[in-house]
Structure 1
Amino acid sequence: MQDTPSHQQSPHILTPQGWHDYQLLDSGHGRKLESVGGYRFIRPEPQAFWAPFLSDEEWQKPAGVFITGSRDQ
């Protein structure tokens, strides 16, 4: 007999109130894909250790990519 959970837990997603031009589109592989004012950005997200849901094509052509570096840069 295999143990199965009686219910599945869903991730708790926090969304900012009043930010009508912001959307978290996807996350994974240490990054998040966001839309701000109609522009797409990729930013680091160390806690996103899973695989992204959207296709690679959706992750292409961002308006900007934030790259982590030292504070001296």
Structure 2
Amino acid sequence: MAKLKYNKDGRVLFTKEMKKEYTILCPMMAPIHFRLIINVFRNCGYNFELLTSTGPNIVQEGLKYVHNDAC
């Protein structure tokens, strides 16, 4: 697993090793556009998954992993 690197402010930096090992999870916001974006990220070598789940539990799942203002 890629070793975490931090900037001077303590934020985690995204490294080339992470590009190979980590997966970017993206919520479905605009179906037509995001299906195109999947291919752009994958063609650039990123592991990218579009989250297509819907329903009342999806909000709670988002709040579990993301800061409240972003979800």
Whether these two folds match at TM > 0.5 is: no
Q: TM-score, normalization: structure 2?
A: 0.26
Larger Cα-atom Rg: 1
- The structure with the greater share of residues assigned to strand is 1
